[in-house]
Amino acid sequence: MALEPTPEERQQRAFDILKHQARAAHGEGDGLRVGHLCEIALQEVRRLIDRQELLLTIRDIQWAFVFQLYWLLHGYAIQFTRQALQQVPRTSETDNAIFKILDAYAFFIEQPLMGPDKALKLLKELPISALGDKITPESTEVAVHLVELAWYHSVSTDGWQEVVQLWIQSGPTWLALLLKPVQERLGVQTRLTVPSKRKPPFHTSAAAEISNMSCLAELWLLHLYGRTDAILQRIKEIAPKVNPDDNQWRLIADFWHVNPPLSVHSPGDAQGVWLARRRQMTTAFPALVFNDRRELRIGELLGEIYRRGEEGLASYRWQVLQLAMLHELAALRIWDYGMWREAVRAQSETLLEAAKWMHDQPGWSAQGLVLGVRAISLGSAAKDSLVRSAIDHVEFAPQEILTGLSSDLFSTYPRQKHTASGLLDEVGDLVPPTLWPEFATWTATYAQESRENITSGLKLNPLKPWADILPLVSEDSSIWAVLKPEVIRLAQIKHCWQGDDRGVLWAWLMSSPLDAAQEVAEAMVSLSSVELGDSFFRADLLTSFERERPQVRKLVTRELAGRAQLPEERLLLARHLHDPTVGSIEQEVRSKTIRAVRDALKQAVPREGSTTFSFGPLILGMALLHDWPKENEPLLREIVTAVNSPGVLRNWIPTLLNWIQVFVAYGPGEFATLVQPSVGSWVEQLPLGREVPADTYGPFSIIQMRGIGSDDVSAAVGWICLQLLRKLNRAAHAEVQSWIQNTLLAGYEKTMPIAFYVAIVISTQTTGECHISALAAADAILAFLRLRMKDSQAAAMSLASALAHVAHTLRNEGSDTVDWKSNGAKATLKWLSNFLESHSPVLASACNPHLRGQLALLLWNMNRNELLPPSLTRMLEQLGTDRRAQVRLNAKGGEWELLRTRKTA
Amino acid sequence: MRLLPDPDLSLRDASDFIFDSPLGRRALVDPQPRCLAVFLREVIQSIYRLTLSCHLPEFTDHGLGHLCSLIDRVSRWTAIGSDSNPIRVIEHSNFRPDEAAILLLATLFHDIGMLSQRPEDLPVDSTGAAGRPLKDLPSWVRSTHIQRMEALIRRVFATTEFNDLLDDPLILRSLQVARAHSTWPWDWKSFGFTGKDEGLAAMLAVADLLDEDALRCDSSTLLRHRYGTPVNCAHWIRHGLTIGRVLILQGIITVELGRPPGTDSQIEPVFIALRNHYQLVRVYASQLAQAGAGILRVVFNPPDGVPLVEVRDLQHWSEIPEFHFQSALVYHLLESFMPQALLDERRCSSAVIQRLTKLGLSPVDLTDFYAIRGELAPRTSLEQSFHALLNSP
């Protein structure tokens, strides 16, 4: 007769089947299979518990809890596992001890943002000896993984090392043998993956040393140092010894793939072959398949978060962080660099996205930014709204967080520095002044490394963040000496004499010790072979330099004048040097400009049926000539006719309108009268021209042409309105008010600053109903932008521009736009004071530093003119201590005030 | 009594056995084509070589051992109504030598696809021609072995002097007969059999169906030493449940059954299914009659219930982790049967169930089987093993 097994025997045997399979699958890295086995087991455990029929102990089934958590693929499993764990009956001290270990294990995975103090406290209290003297796959796994989790949670304080020591002393004997190599590996990986001031990046010479641990460690370090040749050489040495069917082969191949030989003649396969082979190889290894699956899951969750874009997606964010944490730890075990980057990128993106909704914990946003740098995944703030919101979130972070953020950015490997530099372009002036010397050294090193092509990108101007900082650096600082070689290099790059890159050269010329400024100026002049256009911008920069720092005399510009060829440059220099030939050169420039405008008009209104198009040229004379006499009226008429022509191309309209503005601004009053009717019609219906015969915008256009939208055209009309106000005063009010009204209704953020400006100008020119109406419009514009600035970077920038326009008119003594002594102007200033009293607390705490900076400048200018009410004085003082260097600078009058100080000195 | 070749069959032993078998002799009395004997020898040699190198370990034997068994069963098949002077079906005057040749060739061909794994042998219009989508290799081999048979044979002989011979009508008919063994006779209309070929196809199918006995494989060694899935193990055990050769003598099939040691009445559904499996030969009755190979009945010992005799070769069944308890053994054995033998209403049409019930097949209680197998949704083999052991579906 057959013996009927007891229920306990049945459960033991049945669960053993799963356990043996799960252990085998765990050993093979087949996480998907392990997950399946654990789900079956835990479902049955809960059923048996519900029926009060579970006859197994927690030790018998601990494998299911450990493996389920280790191979986590869905966040819900943590909750499910913890619930099941709590329901398992515990009848002995050992049961309780094992429960504590497993529960803590689940908790550590559930809480990826747990601070180091709490983590260490929990770990030190664990009865680790309960793992028992008998070594099993699940007991070793939980011990190692807990140490790895301890490392993850406390790497910043190195507290995990204490846990390892404690467990080696108090745990089963096998634990010491198990944990020592883990401790050694994590020690190396700390400096490789989480370098900091305390645990600085390895020197490149350490590559050979850490290769004892893994050849992948060596390749990892060489890669972070951008040592492409060394990597390829090492791979050639290692590869023959590795079986192509080995998982390690794929990981080595990854380094080859991301460091392809630079020469197209080098032997090797095309990138497409590498990628296809990599995908194919991944399918051969269950662990790699699982890792791919987890990355896919992380991508799904992030995609859902981005798609829904709402605050209440906490469970998704937690899941990404949980999975990404496990993914990182798994990557470190097998030294999978690509997988590690993906894991860290996911952590970064989740923290960056969360910053959109957070009002506290700026440390998490700072961490998100640093992780994005380490993973070389952080986008530019201009193009990535997540980076933007995270920067906004750290804008007012406590000093220690900014110090930590800065230190972490300075503790980067060459490959990561380019991404760090991109971030520092945005937040460079948030770096605490005490770290500026370190920042300067880092900048110089980065610049050198990027020239050596070992960073992950190259910048013409690696000094961009210094434009805001240099004016605040004291003359005796070591920073000048550290940065000078790089500034001299920059000065010899002609492209950097104009545009945004000009800022740092300007700041250096204005702010540095005089001899350092002169060295840079001489470096610019020393470049003899430059294109004529570039030469003009150099002359522009250097004439400004000599004008603002008269101590340097005019030696460099005299040298330039001797070899200048371009009429515009000659005119610039002749004016600066008070040369008697100014008149004849001016005539030459005028003739050239008129010819250029007429040529341009032919392109702006091409023949019917033409399928080609061009862009408006940069006509330097339009910016240089400040007097357009009556005899040039025919040219103005031609431009106006072109704008009104049905054949004019859309992309030319803003350029043509800008030229009209110049003619009105620098021409006789008749010019204003001449264009007034056209402006009236443009206000009612914007001149948009005809479509360019090509795809130049839209979501499916490869080319995206900027600056030709309705808002751009409206803004250009707005600037003409301003000139009409200057020239015709009240006679232009009807057209201008109409334009303001239409701008408000259209809601063009880009047009608001000029609308605000002309509203203010009208209000100063009038009293009574018209005055009130203009201020109401100004009020509406500021309110509109203030409401929008939280969600729209463009709105914040427009608000900053609006304040800047007013600040500008207040700075200029004897402004021809506004007579601040008129009754209307006095009333306007009163309104402005009232407005600022009400709104400046909000504006002063806006995340956008440019907005705060322009507010500071406006208040400073009002104060200088003794127009600042006492209630706003404190605000100005507060802005003078703002974390951003640019805000602090503007609160003290900006560069202009600094110059005055230097002049006085 | 003529012994079957040794399980460690050599090519020469098998060849001798086949050529010396009544079926072989009858086929070669007046060979057409004249090179038939040489061709047969080449076929046997090819099968031998394929078996040595390509037979998948998961399968029970599909090589020369299995083929010799079938040839022996067909050779010893005696007709109804000749108690005093049994006459072998193939030696009857109505059974022509060319028909014997077709049956012999079809027998040799019928499982050759199980010995090869190349997708290019699939017909070009086959849905699986491009590869092996969505199936593990053994399952793919099993499900496509008939489709691949002809192309495989043509590939084997493509560079030999027999290349043209493969288009001989006799060879083509034998391929058609071989092809029919994997389908039920009510689906044979599409084959367009001529002459006695339908009867020959039925003889091959029945001989194959009856090749269920303990000699089919060395169950004891397989269970103790070879890795296999629970279904593989179940097949190895199932063969051990039939003791001795199953032959057809005067239209009567006698089957002697034994049980695995340590089992009791809990295993009875397995024996109902096994008896049903043998009873399935009756679906071929009308086709067999065309070849003069009628069947009267199947006699079981014991006729019902669980056999008292224990099969010692199966004594280690409980060492297989997935089997261990009788509940799991029953489950896995039932899983090894074709649905028709279980009269499984979930997997067979009601028309088939009705037809088989009329033929005397008995219903099998599949309540527990499906509770473990997954009533609502399919479970994996491992899940089924787990629940079979737990006996707590």
Name the residue among A2, A13, A20 with its Cβ closest to that of B263. A2
Q: Are A853 and A887 in contact (CB under 8 A)?
A: yes
DSSP class of residue B359 equals T
Residue A44 at interface with chain B, using a CB cutoff of 8 Å: yes
B389/A2 touch (CB, cutoff 8 Å), yes or no: no
A17/B264 touch (CB, cutoff 8 Å), yes or no: no
Cis peptide before B33, with omega less than 30 degrees from 0?
yes
Q: Are A899 and A548 in contact (CB under 8 A)?
A: yes
Pairwise CA distance, residues A174 & A192, whole Å: 28
- CA A287 to chain B, closest CA, distance in angstroms equals 20
Burial of B162 (0-12, 13-18, 19+ CB in 10 A): buried
Name the residue among B322, B326, B386 with its Cβ closest to that of A40. B386
- Which helix (H) or strand (E) segment holds residue B272: the answer is helix B268-279
Residue A292 at interface with chain B, using a CB cutoff of 8 Å: no
Average pLDDT of chain A to the nearest whole number: 92
B386/A10 touch (CB, cutoff 8 Å), yes or no: no
pLDDT of residue A367: 96
Residue of chain A with shortest Cα separation from B308? A1
pLDDT of residue A264: 55
Residue A39 at interface with chain B, using a CB cutoff of 8 Å: no
Tokens for A207, please give them: 């590559």
Q: Is the pLDDT of residue A593 over 80?
A: yes
Pairwise CA distance, residues A349 & A345, whole Å: 6
Q: Are A497 and A536 in contact (CB under 8 A)?
A: no
Is the pLDDT higher at A676 or at B56?
Answer: A676
Residue A361 at interface with chain B, using a CB cutoff of 8 Å: no
Pairwise CA distance, residues A55 & A71, whole Å: 26
A17/B386 touch (CB, cutoff 8 Å), yes or no: yes
Q: Is the pLDDT of residue A2 over 70?
A: no
Pairwise CA distance, residues A722 & A748, whole Å: 17
**Residue A1 pLDDT class (50, 70, 90 cuts):** very low
ipTM, two decimals, is: 0.81
Interface of B with A (CB under 8 A): 262-264, 266, 321-322, 324-326, 380, 382-383, 385-387, 389-392
The arithmetic mean of pLDDT across residues A578-607, rounded, is: 94
**B262: chain A residues, CB-CB within 8 Å:** 2-3
Q: Are A95 and A61 in contact (CB under 8 A)?
A: no
Chosen for mutation from B229, B319, B320, B325 (greatest number of chain A CBs closer than 10 Å) is B325
Tokens for A472, please give them: 């605040």
Q: At how many degrees (to 10) do helices A7-28 and A286-308 cross?
A: 90
Residue A8 at interface with chain B, using a CB cutoff of 8 Å: no
CA-CA-CA-CA torsion sign (A749, A755, A757, A759):
negative
List of long-range contacts for A517-521, beta carbons under 8 Å, 24+ apart: A517/A545, A517/A549, A517/A552, A518/A552, A518/A556, A519/A484, A519/A488, A520/A484, A520/A487, A520/A488, A520/A491, A521/A491, A521/A545, A521/A552, A521/A556
Q: Over the stretch A691-711, which tens digit does the pLDDT of each residue have? A: 887 777 788 888 888 888 999
pLDDT of residue A260: 73
DSSP class of residue A65 equals H
Q: How far is CA B142 from CA A124, B138, B148, B149, in A?
A: 58, 6, 10, 12
- CA A48 to chain B, closest CA, distance in angstroms equals 10
Name the residue among B266, B389, B392 with its Cβ closest to that of A17. B389
The arithmetic mean of pLDDT across residues A484-508, rounded, is: 94
A17/B383 touch (CB, cutoff 8 Å), yes or no: no
pLDDT of residue A895: 64
**A14: chain B residues, CB-CB within 8 Å:** 386-387, 389-390
Other beta carbons within 10 angstroms of residue B49's beta carbon come to: 13
Residues in chain A: 905
Other beta carbons within 10 angstroms of residue B167's beta carbon come to: 9
Half-sphere exposure of B333 (CA within 13 A, CB side): 28
Chosen for mutation from B233, B372, B389 (greatest number of chain A CBs closer than 10 Å) is B389
The arithmetic mean of pLDDT across residues A764-784, rounded, is: 93
Q: Are A16 and B321 in contact (CB under 8 A)?
A: yes
Name the residue among A10, A17, A44 with its Cβ closest to that of B385. A17
The arithmetic mean of pLDDT across residues A21-26, rounded, is: 95
A1/B380 touch (CB, cutoff 8 Å), yes or no: no
The arithmetic mean of pLDDT across residues A579-603, rounded, is: 95
pLDDT of residue A898: 61
A44/B386 touch (CB, cutoff 8 Å), yes or no: yes
The arithmetic mean of pLDDT across residues A360-386, rounded, is: 94
Residue of chain B with shortest Cα separation from A10? B390
The arithmetic mean of pLDDT across residues A436-452, rounded, is: 96
Tokens for A19, please give them: 């356990």
Residue A203 at interface with chain B, using a CB cutoff of 8 Å: no
A18/B326 touch (CB, cutoff 8 Å), yes or no: no
- CA A1 to chain B, closest CA, distance in angstroms equals 6
- For residues B289-314, one letter each, b for 16 or more C-beta atoms within 10 angstroms of the residue's C-beta and e for the rest, the string is ebbbbbbeebebeeeeebbeeebebb
Pairwise CA distance, residues B269 & A892, whole Å: 96
**A15: chain B residues, CB-CB within 8 Å:** 386
Q: How far is CA A882 from CA A355, A871, A889, B257, in A?
A: 21, 18, 9, 95
Residue of chain B with shortest Cα separation from A51? B392
Residues in chain B: 393
Pairwise CA distance, residues A124 & A100, whole Å: 12
**B324: chain A residues, CB-CB within 8 Å:** 13
Low-confidence residues of chain B: pLDDT under 50: 1, 129-130, 393
Q: Are B251 and B80 in contact (CB under 8 A)?
A: yes
Q: If you count residue pairs, one on A and one on B, with CB atoms under 8 Å apart, how many are there?
A: 43
Q: What is the CA radius of gyration of chain A?
A: 34
Chosen for mutation from B310, B390, B391 (greatest number of chain A CBs closer than 10 Å) is B390
